[in-house]
Structure 1
Amino acid sequence: MTATSTSAEPTPVPSGCGSFWEHLADVLSEDEQPLTAVERQGVLTLAERMCLGERVPRALTLCPER
């Protein structure tokens, strides 16, 4: 596989990186921070590739569309 190819395989999560994205999603949802569809999809795609589970998507459901 080349560096430019895409893969459905999980991306290894550096230590602490997964909790960063989970915390960021929690903070955004607590403030009900509006997100554009592109911003939301970017975070959801990254969370899925990093196998972070449902915490990030669940938190982002509380963020309204911008």
Structure 2
Amino acid sequence: MRITTSSRDALARIAERDFGGASLDETVARLAWEHESFAALARLDEAELQDYRDEHEGLAETDPDLPA
């Protein structure tokens, strides 16, 4: 993979700050997963999005670690 020094350094900062010092490989994998997750949410129609929100709300009520 080709990557500029500034992009590698930015990735290293994210790895340290947001992912507890994860490797750059793990950081890229996590960022790719986050991107795919947000892209999947963006493809939902209104009814599907409401179902997702309802399910999240239900889980948040039973799991104190999830934001409501």
TM-score, with length taken from structure 1: 0.31
Q: Give the greater-gyration-radius structure (CA).
A: 2
Which structure is higher in RCO with an 8 Å CA cutoff and minimum separation 6? 1
Greater share of helix: 2
TM-score, with length taken from structure 2: 0.31
